[in-house]
Amino acid sequence: MNKKGVLLVNLGTPDSPSTADVRKYLDEFLMDERVIDINPVMRTMLVKGVIVPFRSPKSAKLYKEIWSETTGSPLLHYSLLQQELLQKQLGSDYHVELAMRYQSPSIESALKNLKQAQVESIRIVPLFPHYASASSGSVLQKVMELVSKWQTIPNISFVNSFHDNELMIKVFAENAEKYKPETYDHILFSFHGLPQRQLIKSDHSGRHCLKSDNCCATLTNDNKFCYSAQCHHTARLIADQLSLPADKYTVCFQSRLGKDPWVQPYTSVVIDELAKKGMKRLLVFCPAFVADCLETVYEVTVEYGDEFKKLGGEHVQLVESLNDHPLWIDALEGLVKG
């Protein structure tokens, strides 16, 4: 019997924390037309002329801080563990591959392995709980570009988003419980940011995105593919699971790049405001990521932690990501079989 193929795809990480490898990674990532979605000539000038030359040495320093001598980039390490554990759990009827949208292991090589294994179908699982053109959309476009050239195209299906996955919500809540959320002054749900123009472009109704202050407060037919509305929904589900009152938590967005407005409120602004209000201890969830990475272990723990302390705060505690939690592997099994 032919096996069923599974392709897990995360964002990508440099091959090493050297400036040259970070430059290669940022160049491939930021030249993607779904990531910096502006006129191609402007994108080339901005990315190759400004962002990559200035950002690469700075980012390389940060990557060096989180790089493990034995396991390298945390994002790749946890993604490989997720692949291994899912393969074990699904058994020999399945062939599970892992790819990164940018750099290695590439989507090309993972698809080649699936083709060689003569799989009868491919289930594509972008490892992003919330749909964004810049993340899941880009993964799906790349896979379709490559597979469309095959002589025989197997059955293909993909997961668009899983922002309300019950097991995922449970793992985030469980991971937080050991820190006793009730002992913190405030809880943040800090999601990866996105330029506002990308939200507006995804609003096919033309009635929803950024048309009112609370356009993301509920998930409706009009905004069900809105990245921000999906993020708010995930936060509400985790907060409900932990019985957090609405005034005890804030949804915010981190990792802004460039001068254009991104989805708000910005995490750094919220942290400043909370410190100025005299809050001392913050617990921070990063539910846009299924594995710990630069944006969680460095940006939240170190950068936001230092910023908070400078303004009188005492402690910023990150709730670890889904990583290799057994219930998350169960969740992945459900996404594959669903």
Ligand X SMILES: C=CC1=C(C)c2cc3[nH]c(cc4nc(cc5[nH]c(cc1n2)c(C)c5CCC(=O)O)C(CCC(=O)O)=C4C)c(C)c3C=C
Residue ranges in 190-219 that form contacts with ligand X under rule CB under 6 A: 192, 194-195
Q: Interface with Fe ion includes 228 (CB under 5 A)?
A: yes
Stated as kind and residue range, the H or E segment containing 318 is: strand 315-318
Cβ distance to ligand X smaller for residue 35 or 119: 35
Query: Angle 217-247-178 (CA atoms, 0-180°, nearest 5)?
Result: 105
Contacting ligand X within 107-136 (CB under 6 A): 128, 132, 134-135
The contact mask relative to Fe ion for 188-217 (x = CB under 5 A, - = no) is: ---------------------x-----xx-
DSSP 11-48: EE--SSSSHHHHHHHHHHHHT-TTTS-S-HHHHHHHII
Closest CA to 301 of 280, 290, 323, 286: 286
Least Å from the CB of residue 217 to Fe ion: 10
Work out how close the CB of 284 gets to ligand X at its nearest, in angstroms, rounded to a whole number. Answer: 15
Q: Which is nearer to ligand X, 12 or 313 (CB)?
A: 12
Nearer to ligand X, 136 or 317 (CB): 136
Return the number of the residue (90 or 168) whose C-beta is nearest ligand X: 168
Q: Is 295 annotated as a binding residue?
A: yes
Residues 42-81 that bind Fe ion (CB under 5 A): none
Sheet holding 281-285, edge to edge: 249-254, 186-192, 281-285, 315-318
How far apart, in whole angstroms, are the C-alpha atoms of residue 199 and residue 189?
19
Is 99 a residue that touches ligand X (CB under 6 A)? no
Max Cα–Cα distance, the chain, nearest Å: 64
Q: Which does 237 bind (CB under 5 to 8 A by kind): Fe ion, ligand X, none?
A: none
Contact call for residue 134 and Fe ion (CB under 5 A): no
What contacts 92, CB < 8 A, 6 or more positions away? 3
Q: Distance between CA 188 and CA 249 in Å, rounded?
A: 6
- Per CB under 6 A, the list member of 9, 47, 52, 73 interacting with ligand X is 73
CA dihedral 192, 76, 336, 199 (to 10 degrees): 20
Structure tokens at 196: 């506002």
- Token readout for 143 is 């896979």
CB count within 10 Å of CB 245 equals 7
3 state SS of 56: helix
* Cβ neighbours of 92 (radius 10 Å): 8
**Binding flag, residue 295, ligand X (CB under 6 A):** yes
Closest distance of CB 49 from ligand X, Å? 16
Interaction partner, residue 228 (ligand X, Fe ion, none; CB < 5-8 Å by kind) = Fe ion
Note whether 255 binds ligand X by CB under 6 A: yes
Contact call for residue 313 and ligand X (CB under 6 A)? no
Q: How far is the CB of 117 from ligand X (least distance, A)?
A: 27
The annotated binding site for Fe(2+) is made up of: 192, 295
Contact residues toward ligand X (CB under 6 A) are 11, 13, 26, 35, 55, 59, 73, 75, 128, 132, 134-135, 192, 194-195, 255, 257, 288-289, 293-295
The annotated binding site is made up of: 192, 295
Contact residues toward Fe ion (CB under 5 A) are 209, 215-216, 226, 228-229
